[in-house]
Homo-oligomer: A and B are copies of this chain.
Amino acid sequence: MKKSIERFNEIIREKKLIDVAISALHWDLETQTPKKGQELLSDVVGYLSSKSYGVITSDEMVLLIEELKKKREELTEIEDKSLEEVEREVDKLIKIPVLEYREYNELTAKAQGVWAEAREKNDFGLFSEFLEKIVGFQRRFIKYRGYEGHPYNTILDDYEPGMTVEKLDDFFGYLRKELVPFIKKIKEDGKSVDGAFLKMDYPENKQMEFSKFIAEYIGFDFERGVISESAHPFTLNYDKNDVRITTRYIRNMLSSSVFGTIHEGGHAIYEQGIGDDIAGGILGEGTSMGIHESQSRFYENVLGRSRSFWEPIYGELQDKFEALRDVNIDEFYRGINKSESSLIRVEADELTYSLHIMVRYEIEKALIGGDIEVRELPRIWNEKMKEYLGIEPSNDREGVLQDVHWSAGLMGYFPSYALGNVYASQIHAAMKKDIDVDEALQNRELYRIKEWLNQKIHRFGKLRKPEELLKEIAGEEINAKYFVEYLKEKYGNIYGV
C-alpha cells in the first residue's frame, strides 16, 4: 500500500516535470521565439505532450488508480483528492487516441503563432484553416469522451466542474434581463464621462516601469515570478515558485497595460498563494477557471477600478505621465470606469463586459454543436456584436481575431470570465464582513486583502471545488444578484442615474 502511494506520487511528479517543460516552451513561443523557430518548438511541445499523456495514462497508473480506490480510507485527504483529480484527468485523456492528442498539441502550438500573424495582418483566412482543424479535433474529442445534454457541456466542465449549457443559458438570461435596460438608461440619462485623456501619449518604457511597480504593489512576488510582453496578456504557472505574467504596452492606451497587469497579477497571486502542503502536486493550482477569473477580475475591477485603490498612488502615476498632469483623481476614477459599447473584450468596462462573453459563448456553443462553421465566423461575430452591443467591427482584427483562446484550443473557457465577475462580487461581499477593504486600500495595506484571499481561497488549490469554496465563504451557491447590485450602485453613482 505504501509502495503504491509512493509510486503513484512518483508518476505524478514525472508528469509534473514534463508539464513544466511544456509550459516553459509555451512561454518561450508566446514571448520570444523567432518566427522561423516556431515550428521546431511546436514539434517539441507535441512530443512532450504525448510523453505527458503516456505517463499519466500508462497501464501502471490505471492499475494503481484501481488499487488505491479500493483502499480510500487509508489515504490522507490530500492523497484522496489527488487520486480523484488524477482519475478525472486520466478518464478524460484515455478516451482520446494518443496520436490524435499529439497532433492536436502540435497544431495548437503552431496555431498560436499563426493567429498572432493573422491578427497582425488582419487576415482571418490565414487563421481559418487552423481553426477549422482545431474545431474538428474538439468535436471529435467530445465524441470520444461522451456528453450529457449538449456536447458543449463536456468542455465547459473542464474549466468549471459542474457547469452546463442549461445553467449558463439561465445565467446569461438573468444578466441580460438586468443589465441591458440599465445600460440603456445610462446611455440615455447618464452624465457624460470623459476618458479621452487615457488615450494620450504614454511612452512604452514608462508604462513598463509602472507595470512592474503596480504588480509588486498589489502583492506579486518577483522572487517567484516574471513579467514579460506578448500579443495577448496571459498568466502561466510552473509552480507556486515560478509564476509568469505578460502584458502589452500600447503607446496611446494606458489602461491596456495597467489593468492588464493588475488582472494577470490577480491570477498570479492566486498561484503564488497555493499552500505548501499541496504545492508541486496535482492539486497545487487554481481550482477552476471561474474561480481563477474571480481573482483576476477582483483585483482588476473591484480593487483596481475603485477610488480607494488610487488614492494613495495616483500621485505616482501622475508624476510618471505628462498626459495626466491636469487630470485630478476624480476625473481619473470616472475615466477608468467610463462605460461604452466597445469592440475589444480585454478593454471593455465592467458593465458591458458580460455582453462580450455572451457573443463568444453563443458562438462556441453553436460551433461545437455543429450548427455553424468556421468560415461563417466573421459574419456571425459582427452580427452578434451589433445585436448585443450596438456596434460592429470594421475589421476582423478588432473582431473575431482579437482573442488568443481559440488558437490555443481553449474552447469552453470564455464563460469563466463572466462566472468570475459574479464570484468576485460574492467574495467581495463576504470579505467586507471581515475587513474594511476601502481602508486597507487607502492605507496601502493590500497585504491584508491578499492574506484574506490566501486564507480563504488560494491555499486550497484544487483541494476544494468551486462550489465548496463559495459555500464556505459566502454561505450560498453562485448568485448573480451581488454582481448586478454592485454594478448598479457603482455605475449609478458615476453616471448619476
Identify the A interface with B (CB < 8 A).
14, 17-18, 20-21, 24-25, 27-28, 32-37, 39-41, 43-44, 47-48, 205, 222-226, 228, 238-239, 241-242, 280
Contact = CB atoms under 8 A, between A and B. Distances in A.
A47 B228 contact: no
B17 A47 contact: yes
Q: Which label, helix, strand, loop or mixed, suits the secondary structure of the A interface?
A: helix
Given A34-B226, A39-B241, A40-B239, A21 B17 contact: no
A36 B41 CA distance: 25
Given A20-B41, A36-B223, A37-B239, 5 more contacts: A14-B47, A24-B28, A35-B223, A36-B242, A40-B280
A241 B17 contact: no
Contact of A40 (B25, B33, B36, B241): B241
A218 B225 CA distance: 35
A258 B479 CA distance: 60
Contacts of A280: 40
A376 B482 CA distance: 69
Contact of A228 (B14, B25, B27, B32): B32
Contacts of A32: 226, 228
Contacts of A43: 17
Given A14-B47, A205-B205, A24 B36 contact: no
A24 B44 contact: yes
A27, A40, A226 — which one has the most chain B CB atoms within 10 A of its CB? A40
20 contacts: A21-B21, A21-B24, A21-B25, A24-B24, A24-B25, A24-B28, A24-B41, A27-B28, A32-B228, A33-B226, A34-B224, A34-B226, A34-B241, A35-B224, A36-B223, A36-B224, A37-B224, A37-B241, A37-B242, A41-B242
A478 B132 CA distance: 58
Nearest to A39: B241
Contacts of A20: 40-41, 44
Nearest to A32: B226
A44 B21 contact: yes
A40 B224 CA distance: 11
A34 B228 contact: no
Contacts of A34: 222-226, 241-242
A242 B21 contact: no
A437 to B, nearest CB: 29
A223 B38 CA distance: 10
A24 B17 CA distance: 14
Nearest to A28: B24
A146 to B, nearest CB: 33
